[in-house]
Amino acid sequence: RDALAVTWTPAGTGPDGAAAIVGALLTPDGRADPFPLYARAHALGPVSEIADGRFLVCGHAAVDRVLRDPGFGPAARPPKDPGGAAGGSPSMARSILWAGPPDHGRMRSLISQVFTARRVAALRPAIEDAADALLDGLAESGADGRPADFMDRFAFPLPVTVIGELLGVPAADRHRFRRPAADLTEALELPALASPPGAVHADGPAGAAARELAGYFTRLIRERRAAPRDDLVGALVAARDAGDGRLSDEELLANLVLLLVAGFETTAGLLGNGLAILLDRPDVRAGLRSGEIEVPGFVEEVLRYDSPVQITTRVARTGGLTVGGLPVPEGGEVVLLIGAANRDPARYRDPDRFDPSRRDVKPLSFGAGPHICLGNGLARLEAAVALPRLLARFPEISAVPGAPRTRRDRLVLRGHETFPVRLVPS
Ligand code: HEM
């Protein structure tokens, strides 16, 4: 029996049950504003049953526990990955994101050996330069008080540029990644709940994107073998070739594609969600500019309040597991509402209020446990560099009356599609 057992709600059905909440989350209104639905989920308790063998988890402690429990893992990789089998190229399905033990640990230890905190910290000057260059472009497109699109001109290009720098992709090639990375992001979305996770349909845009990226990285790997370099691709190739056979060629490719895709829309989402706060809360903007509000605390609170990743799922690898005291059968699925856990009233006082002065903020936005986001340090650094620079450059940046920002119609990845801003007062 675990401590959460007392609050388990057995009734998944009915207008107020967990199944109705999941159904509502899948509607356009639910996707646009999931937070009232999260409040309804909290009213049911940290864990509720959706249907036989499927559970909805919204409590902070419960989501954290499932993510750390080695008994639960990402849904098993499909025996035949359509993206790979039909398209002749591996999609991300063979990457760490969907791997279980022992493959996950084997691959992850090798990748973290080269994707280190030191390598991330060393990227700071490159992030600053990239942000400044993009701010120049933003200024140009917003000259004379014209509206400029923050997402198109800044939030989407910055992460692609930074990941390109990290991986060692030549600057001239980086613009080529934006579209395929966006197309492949489909594989991270909720259809992943229904179709095999990580699999992409070979004849759709995501299949074409997987082939394009795999082709590109295959060439880059060949180049690094011929002429070693100390970028991430070069370092991974060297580690891979060290002779202990810890990473197959196919896995190397799948993980490179994952690294490109995983940090793209997520980080763009964080930048746009952060800007939304700055425009909606003049007090927060003033506090950041005066130094009263510290940048890291601001970034953590943006992550908590409006997480770029709202949901993940887990499957019970074995029988005999429980969640919230409920027995989960082998293969039973658990839907983890990260965005709701971040607003759990049992964990945060007044959770729907953005408050950068909170102490002990531990958002689950990067997950937890063995699959915790490998790029979390990089994403935090990008936001901490970019948003204050934006404010310093355009202290009077504002929304454009009559030109509303639009959200991407997605549930798992929460961010804006367009975000018109005026850089100087008109
Ligand atoms: C995994 C969120 C940026 C690389 C994850 C997971 C989450 C997440 C929630 C865990 C998924 C799960 O357990 O089901 C985010 C957010 C980001 C971000 C919110 C930006 C704000 C990045 C960046 C990179 C990256 C910049 C790399 C350049 C990865 C990788 C994994 C991962 C490789 C798989 C780790 C594993 O399975 O062991 N991310 N991510 N992410 N992320 Fe991120």
Which tens digits make up the pLDDT trace of 271-281?
999 999 999 99
Percent of the chain with pLDDT over 70: 88
Q: What is the largest CA-CA distance in the chain?
A: 65
Give φ, ψ of 184 to 5 degrees: -75, -20
pLDDT for residue 402: 92
* Segment 155-165, tens digit of pLDDT: 999 999 999 99
State the Cα–Cα distance between residues 116 and 114, nearest whole angstrom.
5
Half-sphere exposure at residue 348, Cβ-oriented, CA atoms within 13 angstroms: 27
Q: What is the pLDDT of residue 204?
A: 76
Give the orientation angle of helix 103-114 with respect to helix 249-262, to 10 degrees: 70
Whether residue 195 has pLDDT greater than 90? no
Contact call for residues 20 and 26 (beta carbons, < 8 A): no
- Whether the per-residue pLDDT at 421 is higher than 50: the answer is yes
What separation in Å is there between the alpha carbon of 367 and the centre of ligand 1? 8
Q: How confident is the model at residue 203 (pLDDT cuts 50, 70, 90)?
A: low
Per-range mean pLDDT, top range of 143-147, 150-154, 169-173, 182-186: 150-154
**269: helix, coil or strand?**
helix
DSSP H/E element including 103: helix 103-114
Q: Could you tell me the distance, in angstroms and rounded to a whole number, from the CA of residue 16 to the centre of ligand 1? A: 32
- Whether residue 81 contacts residue 197, with contact meaning beta carbons closer than 8 Å, is answered with no
Mean pLDDT of all residues in 159-186: 90
Q: Is the dihedral of CA 38, 42, 369, 272 positive or negative?
A: positive
Q: What tokens appear for 420 in the block?
A: 């018109």
User: Is omega for the bond preceding 356 within 30 degrees of 0, making it cis?
Assistant: no
Instruction: Decide if 74 contacts 87 (C-beta within 8 A).
Output: no
Report the alpha-carbon distance of residue 309 to residue 160 in Å, rounded. 18
Is the pLDDT at 241 greater than 50? The verdict is: yes
- Please tell me the distance from the alpha carbon of residue 384 to that of residue 392, in angstroms, as a whole number: 13
| Of residues 409 and 306, more confidently modeled | 306
pLDDT at res. 81: 46
Ligand 1 atom nearest residue 308's Cα:
19
The per-residue pLDDT for range 23-62, each reduced to its tens digit, is 899 888 998 999 999 999 999 999 999 988 899 999 999 9
pLDDT 10s digits, 344-386 = 999 999 999 999 999 999 999 999 999 999 999 999 999 999 9
Instruction: Look up residue 217 and give its two tokens.
Output: 């990285």
Per-residue pLDDT at 91 exceeds 70: no
Ligand 1, atom nearest to 260 Cα: 28
Atom of ligand 1 nearest to the CA of 270: 21
φ, ψ for residue 227, nearest 5 deg: -140, 90
Stated as kind and residue range, the H or E segment containing 323 is strand 321-323
Q: Chain centroid to CA 152: how far?
A: 18
Helix H, strand E, coil C: the string for 238-263 is: HHHCCCCCCCCHHHHHHHHHHHHHHC
Residue 339 CA to ligand 1 center (angstroms) comes to: 15
Identify the bridge partners of residue 398 per DSSP, sorted by sequence position.
422
> What's residue 356's pLDDT?
96
Confidence of residue 8 (pLDDT cuts 50, 70, 90): very low
Confidence class for position 83, pLDDT limits 50, 70, 90? very low
Taking CA atoms only, the protein residue closest to ligand 1 atom 14 is: 312
Give the tokens for residue 209.
């994107």
Contacts of 282 (CB under 8 A, 6+ apart): none
Contact 355, 98 (CB under 8 A): no
**Residues in the chain, how many?**
426
Q: Compute, in angstroms, the gap from residue 263 CA to the centroid of ligand 1.
A: 7
pLDDT at position 201 is 62
pLDDT average, residue stretch 337-345:
98
Whether 287 has a pLDDT exceeding 90, the answer reads yes
Residue 75 DSSP label: P
User: Which ligand 1 atom is the nearest neighbour of the CA of 364?
Assistant: 9
Torsion of CA 132, 229, 257, 377, to 10 degrees: -50
So what's the pLDDT on residue 76? 59
Q: Which residue has the tokens 């293969």?
A: 331
Q: Is the pLDDT of residue 12 over 70?
A: no
Q: Which of 265, 300, 307, 376 to mutate to test the pocket of ligand 1 (most atoms within 8 A of CB)?
A: 376
Nearest CA residue ID for atom 37, ligand 1: 97
Give the position, in ligand 1's atom list, of the atom nearest the Cα of 98.
37
Per-residue pLDDT at 270 exceeds 60: yes
CB-defined site of ligand 1, < 6 Å: 74, 96-97, 108, 163, 258-259, 262-263, 266-267, 270, 308-309, 312, 365-367, 371, 373-375, 378-379
Residue 231 has pLDDT above 60, yes or no: yes
**Average per-residue pLDDT in the chain?**
88
User: Rounded to two decimals, what is the model's pTM?
Assistant: 0.93
Closest CA to 279 of 304, 311, 297, 306: 306
**Does pLDDT of 191 surpass 70?**
no
